[in-house]
Amino acid sequence: MSDKSRLDRVYAQLLRHHPYGWALYKKVTKRDIFPGSCGYFDTDGDWKTLVDLNDGPGLVSQGWTSPGDGITGTKSPEAMTWGPKNSVSIQSNHVGGTVGAAIPGAPISASISTLFSTQSSHGAVLATQPPVWKSEIGSVGSAVRWMIENKRAMLQQHRDVFTKHGIWIVTKTYSTRRCAVAVMTAKSSTVEIGLEADAQGVLTLAPSSGWTSSTGSSAVEVHEDERDGLVVFISGVYFSPKVFSWGLSHTGDQGKQGGKLFRGDEDGDADDDVMLDMEFYPPLEEEEEEEDMGSELDSEGD
């Protein structure tokens, strides 16, 4: 990984081993990116929505097809509590405060100052305030079918976006009202933050938590949005024009998709008859992949 890489790209790659999708370093709210949003990351790594697949009537009135219940039948959000998420290069140590579980029923949990350090050239840390909400569409296959049905219109209306950035349909998000992110870009760098321990001993971000110190080379931020929440991880399907092909293909290779998360420095051209290259992240399970993709591949290849 190049030391000159942009921080949002470095951060996403460092946390990719967590099974939640791509981690977002920059602040983005659930008003901007959500399950069913179709859009792209621009040259600066900012999300731009092109179409909201949850708005069936609006889509039809604009000339798109309706995505059906697979998109609009979004699953009920699921709440959870997370401890810190960090890259494999990170070590953590408690350096102050009260270590251990909070007193059951107490309104204030135990306060713990935690030091994160890396002996690698890069490290990343995410701390979240509970609850973390998991939200997802009803069917990834429905998102794929919608893009296939609207491929020609998408290329006609957003040709430049398709060829320069590629287009995503977001299928799942994890969000919280407050989060703290850190990226370390040199060996022996450290960052310190105050966390709270809940009744089960899980360390989480508190409303008053913040980064307290750092050494070496690092970048730290605290984001919050009380109204709708912040998106910290996304999953989705990435589409790009596939030239010189007779069919639709897809891959679960995280490395190939990783270079396209914040794409924006490539130019290209496309015509109305090119096929779509499609990649899932995280990769679908084999059984789910076969069920969702069989008919789409057959119809696109005819």
28-70: pLDDT as tens digits? 999 999 999 999 999 999 999 999 999 888 999 999 998 877 7
Going by C-alpha positions, the residue among 179, 175, 80 that lies closest to residue 125 is 179
Q: Which whole number is the average pLDDT over 287-295?
A: 44
Total-model pTM:
0.82
**CA 248/CA 242 separation, integer angstroms:** 8
pLDDT of residue 159: 86
Residue 135 CA: distances (Å) to CA of 73, 224, 258? 12, 18, 22
pLDDT band at 275 (very low <50, low <70, confident <90, very high): low
Mean pLDDT computed over 193-206: 90
For residue 66, is it within any domain? yes
H helix intervals, the chain? 7-14, 56-61, 69-72, 140-149, 151-157, 159-164, 254-258, 286-301
| Assigned domain for 16 exists | yes
DSSP state of 177: S
- Predicted confidence (pLDDT) at residue 113 exceeds the cutoff of 50: yes
Least confident window among 20-24, 126-130, 167-171, 298-302: 298-302
- Over the chain, what is the mean pLDDT? 80
Q: Is there a contact between 7 and 124 (Cβ–Cβ < 8 Å)?
A: no
In terms of C-beta density within 10 A (0-12 exposed, 13-18 middle, 19 or more buried), how is residue 241 classed? buried
**178 versus 143: which is more confidently predicted?**
178
Within a domain: 185: yes
For residue 258, pLDDT over 70 is answered with no
For residue 167, the model assigns a pLDDT of: 92
- pLDDT confidence bin for 75, thresholds 50/70/90: confident
- Residue 223 identity: H
Answer yes or no: is pLDDT of 103 > 70. no
**173 part of a folded domain:** yes
Is residue 218 classed as helix, strand or coil in its secondary structure?
strand
Confidence at residue 270, expressed as pLDDT on a 0 to 100 scale: 39
100 pLDDT exceeds 60?
A: no
Separation between Cα atoms, residue 238 and residue 87, nearest integer Å: 24
Considering the domain boundaries, does residue 85 fall inside one?
yes
Would you place residue 273 in the very low, low, confident or very high pLDDT band (cuts 50, 70, 90)? very low
Assigned domain for 205 exists: yes
Q: Long-range contacts for 149-158 (Cβ within 8 Å, ≥24 apart)?
A: 149/65, 150/64, 150/65, 151/276, 152/272, 153/63, 153/64, 155/241, 155/270, 155/271, 155/272, 155/274, 156/272, 158/50
Domain membership of residue 2 (yes or no) is: no
Range of the domain at 180: 7-301
pLDDT of res. 267 = 34
Q: What is the number of residues in the chain?
A: 302
Average pLDDT over residues 138-150: 89
- Higher-confidence residue of 182 and 257: namely 182
Stated as kind and residue range, the H or E segment containing 222 is strand 218-224
Token look-up 């998709």 returns 257
What total number of domains does the chain contain? 1
Does residue 1 form part of some domain? no
Q: Say yes or no to pLDDT of 261 above 50.
A: yes
**Phi, psi (degrees; rounded to nearest 5) at 156:** -70, -40
Amino acid at 90: I
pLDDT higher than threshold 50 for residue 166? yes
Mean pLDDT of all residues in 94-114: 59
Residue 204: phi and psi, rounded to 5, are: -135, 165
The pLDDT of residue 287 is 41
Confidence tier at 240 by pLDDT (50, 70, 90): confident
Query: Residue with structure tokens 């059951």?
Result: 104
